Amino acid sequence: MTGTDTTALVEGMPRHVAIIMDGNGRWAAQRGKSRTHGHRAGASAVRKAVAFARRNNIDALTLFAFSSENWGRPEKEVNLLMELFIAVLKREVPQLKKNGVRLNVIGDISRFSQRLQERIQAAQAATAEGTDLVLNVAANYGGRWDIANACQSLARQVQAGTLDPSDIDESAVAGALSLADLPPPDLLIRTGGDIRISNFLLWQLAYAELYFADILWPDFNDHTFMEAIDCFMRRERRFGLTSEQRQQLLAGI
Ligand code: FPP
């Protein structure tokens, strides 16, 4: 399927899409504008992506907004991003609520300002009843941090005597990670031209289909999203099985 028909797809659609939104800075530089301008334009693209996901019955959308490594950027840019997150949360929450979107922030938010932490808690609480789409925003998130955090949580349970080390299997680890309550992402989209995962959901992306779009995040639109889904739907997901086994499994043989 091609084009921008965004209503017809259901069968074979990804249920959970993760996105690495890259390219705001370059988008702004191409226009002779500041990086701030690029991030603001990036926030508009976020709004479009959320609306697309809702319209197309995607259950969960997980966006990489701020990595653990982004603290190393110039202080001015980090501060601007924080102010932008606060402003976006304040502005968008009523609409998210109205549209049945449940906001969930993943990552170590303890390093954020008190004001931002409170805004995040309030936004999560205000949208907690949403059932149409789960919008996960990864903020001060890193895949390695997530796995280390899960290890700590399991170790604490062992220390407390509520978990036996021999019971630490893949499902126990998965259950201690961020997004434990969701199926793992089916599709990862990265904009900006780089072909890497950059410490995003390292465990959760084990079987995701990867799609790299050669455009900058502020230019991401329904058409690009649809192209990624179109490509996803043409892939054969075997999960380690042979093609024949997979076909038989899907046919219920
Ligand atoms: C990557 O582009 C983008 C970011 C580090 C920030 C992402 C933030 C937004 C899209 C704004 C708002 C988001 C939410 C969820 C409210 P870059 O700066 O690395 O671009 P470059 O690679 O061209 O320098």
| Ligand 1 centroid to residue 22 C-alpha, Å | 6
The pTM of the full predicted model, rounded to 2 decimals, is 0.91
List the beta bridge partners of residue 134. Answer: 60, 102
Cβ–ligand 1 distance for 61 under 6 Å, the answer no
Ligand 1: nearest atom to the Cα of 77: 18
Confirm whether 70 is a catalytic residue.
yes
CB contact at 8 A, 189 and 18:
yes
Domain borders along the chain are: 12-143+184-250
d(CA 246, CA 252): 10
Q: Is the pLDDT of residue 249 over 90?
A: no
- Given the residues 59, 70, 221, 222, select the one marked as catalytic: 70
12-143+184-250: which CATH architecture?
A: 3-Layer(aba) Sandwich (3.40)
d(CA 117, CA 223): 34
Instruction: For residue range 181-214, list pLDDT tens digits in order.
Output: 999 999 999 999 999 999 999 999 999 999 999 9
